[in-house]
Amino acid sequence: MSNVSHSSETNLLPLIVEPEQLQEHLDDPQLLIIDVPANGDSYRHGHVPGAIYLDFRYLMRGEGPVPNDVPSTEFLSRLFSALGLTRDTHVIAYDDEGGGWAARLLWTLELIGHTRYSYLNGGIHAWRDSGLEESSEPTPPTPSEYRAEILNPHALITCDEIKQKLEDKQFAVWDARSKGEFDGEKGNNKHLGHIPGAVNMDWLDAMDRNRALRIRDYAELMTELGALGLTPEMEIATHCQSHHRSSFTWLVGKALGFNIRGYAGSWGEWGNRNDTPIEK
């Protein structure tokens, strides 16, 4: 599968990059390596040399009825300028939890049309597992002037769009939450359960625990997802509670060549509205 969209847009590295591949490119001035850990101490304890730190909370709106929604483009412009993003930058994102927050960053980049990006497969766990050198010195970003616009709205799917597509046989919903949440036995929303017809594969089940949380074997994943009814020719929406876990399943779907879209509102929105159909 090619990551090249136009001849002028040739990416430095593939969508999913292995630690050894990244190691060879660490000195490339076009690279912007961003560590988005779930545990803030992770970056201080050790990170990929040259990586800058991003607080994952900046990837969500943080207020209003759906606090996990996408921030405003004004906010994203300030954020990506502060991080030093330019049109020519190739972003490498990783985290300390197998890909949730790193993928939320990459999904946000996809939404604003910045397609030069990669995920460090397995994040800091895989980097350590490969025995590569770490740094504990913080790397300050070099600010830029970046103007964010929603150039690729297809990366996002809304609550209302999902409601309209529920009868469509070529549409499917991948629920990345735990089985307990999917079954309506767990959760702290007004309504519990799942979107009618959704299929459940917990985001953790797409990670290989024996390979430092890298993405599992593609052929195995394709087989399992196919058995659930998720195939490459379909349009697939993925969600969790806050589009954190499902950012990872969005990334996995993208790596597998699926037509996959992220539902930023996720169950935090669907389960708290009164006009959304729900199954248990």
CA distance readout (Å), 67 to 75, 147, 191, 269: 14, 23, 17, 9
150: left (phi over 0), alpha (psi -120 to 50) or beta: beta
> Can you read off the two tokens belonging to residue 7?
């001849």
Measure the CA–CA gap between 255 and 73, rounded to whole angstroms.
Answer: 26
Distance, CA of 19 to CA of 12 (rounded, Å)? 14
DSSP codes, 18-47: -HHHHHHTTT-TTEEEEE--SSTHHHHH-B
Give yes or no for a contact between 58 and 71, defined as CB atoms under 8 angstroms apart.
Answer: yes
Distances (CA, A) of 197 to 9, 93, 170, 246: 38, 32, 12, 17
Candidates 135, 138, 122, 113; CA nearest to 21 is: 122
SS3 12: coil
Q: How far apart are CA 69 and CA 228, in angstroms?
A: 27
Are the C-beta atoms of 193 and 274 separated by less than 8 Å? no
Catalytic residues: 240
> 44 and 13 in contact (C-beta within 8 Å)?
no
Strand partners, 207: 215
